[in-house]
């Protein structure tokens, strides 16, 4: 028997057993896989909608961005459009070389169990799909592809 339990686990000896929310325990794992085609002439601040995720879903830290090499200086942010601007899933990602990058690195450990609407800064669940936007923060020397593979959990 463990000395302590995670605070999000329901108490086994509670008079009325209340299960943990499905977004953090036994939820359905889903994915969204869409690519941003980045042209060599695209400037910094060019945006690409790469997903629409239900506002009640939780973005998993398993999410990735798979990219071709865009060359020297290429960088991006990945965020959610909200009433407070774009909340960050990735801040300061690089597209200089080909490979796989983290797709939810800007979600803090303390926020990892929160639904997308809270990450995005909404005061209440808007009960709709939220757009996920890849923003080119610095152009590279070549065009290429950034494939956003978002893993999310919902009930």
Query: Which domains, ranges and CATH numbers included, belong to the chain?
Result: 28-154 (2.60.120)
Per-residue tens of pLDDT for the chain, all 155 residues: 677 777 777 777 777 777 777 777 778 899 999 999 999 999 999 999 999 999 999 999 999 999 999 999 999 999 998 766 666 899 999 999 999 999 999 999 999 999 999 999 899 999 999 999 999 999 999 999 999 999 999 87
Predicted confidence at residue 89, as pLDDT, reads: 95
Predicted confidence at residue 83, as pLDDT, reads: 64
Q: Is 100 buried (19+), middle (13-18) or exposed (0-12) by CB count in 10 A? A: exposed
Predicted confidence at residue 84, as pLDDT, reads: 64
DSSP 8-state assignment for residue 70: -
Predicted confidence at residue 19, as pLDDT, reads: 76
DSSP annotation string for 12-65: TT-SS--PPPTTTSSPEEEEEEEEEEE-TTPPTT-EEEEEEEETT-EE-TT-EE
Predicted confidence at residue 67, as pLDDT, reads: 96
């Amino acid at each position: 028997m463990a000395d302590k339990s995670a605070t999000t686990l329901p108490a086994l000896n509670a008079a009325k057993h209340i299960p943990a929310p499905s977004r953090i325990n036994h939820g359905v794992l889903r994915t969204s896989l869409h690519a941003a085609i980045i042209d060599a002439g695209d400037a910094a601040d060019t945006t690409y909608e790469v997903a629409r995720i239900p506002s009640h879903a939780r973005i998993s830290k398993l999410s990735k961005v798979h990219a071709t090499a865009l060359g020297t200086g290429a960088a991006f942010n990945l965020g959610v459009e909200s009433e407070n601007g774009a909340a960050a899933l990735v801040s300061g990602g690089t597209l200089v070389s080909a490979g796989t990058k983290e797709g939810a690195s800007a979600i803090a450990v303390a926020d990892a169990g929160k639904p997308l609407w809270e990450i995005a800064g909404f005061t209440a669940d808007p009960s709709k799909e939220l757009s996920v936007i890849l923003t080119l923060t610095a152009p590279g020397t070549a065009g290429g592809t950034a494939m956003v593979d978002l893993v999310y959990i919902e009930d």
